[in-house]
Amino acid sequence: MIETIREKAPWYFWVVAVLSLLWDAFGCLDFTMTVTRNPAYLAQFPPEIIDFIDSFPMWATAVWALGVWGALTGSVLLLLRSRWAVAAFAASLLGLALSTVYQVTADMPEAMTAGVNLVLTLVIWAAAIALLWFAARMRARGVLR
C-alpha cells in the first residue's frame, strides 16, 4: 500500500475553514427557515419577496439546496482536510449558477435587484468562487488528501 504524505496545513487554512463553515451554515439556515416557512424568519422580508420565493419551480428550489448544502459539505470536508472539498464546492457553485440563471430570467421583485440584496448576491458569488479556488489550491499543495 502506498501512503501519501499530507502537507502540514498553514495557520490560515484553519481560519478560512472555520469561517467558511460559519458562512455556509448561515446559508443553510436561511434555506431551511425559508422553505419551512418559519414565520418569525420570514417576517423580515417584504411580501413580494416571499411571493417570488413561493413561485419557485421545484428545480429552482433543488438547485438552491445544491448550492447551500454543497457549500456546507465543502466546508466540513475542508475541515477534515479531504480532497473531496473541491468537488463539493464545485457542486455548490453549479447550484449557485443555476439558481442565479433562474432568478435573472424570472420576474424578480425590484427589492431583490438593488441595494443590499444586490451586494449580498455579489458577496455570495465572491465567497463561492474564493472557496473553490482555496480548496483547489490546498489540494494542489498537498494539504487536502
Q: Are 122 and 100 in contact (CB under 8 A)?
A: no
Comparing CA positions, the residue from 63, 46, 65 lying closest to residue 108 is 46
Taking CA 104 as the corner, what is the angle to CA 98 and CA 108, rounded to the nearest 5 degrees?
125
Q: What is the mean pLDDT of residues 77-99?
A: 98
Per-residue model confidence as pLDDT tens digits over 17-48: 999 999 999 999 999 999 999 999 999 999 99
Q: Are 24 and 72 in contact (CB under 8 A)?
A: yes
CB burial readout 66-89, b (16+ within 10 A) else e: bbbbbbbbbbbbbeebbeebbbbb
Segments making up each domain of the chain, as ranges: 17-140
Tell me how far apart the alpha carbons of residues 52 and 37 are, in angstroms, rounded to a whole number: 13
Report the mean per-residue pLDDT for the chain. Answer: 94
Residue 3 pLDDT? 58
Residue 58 pLDDT? 97
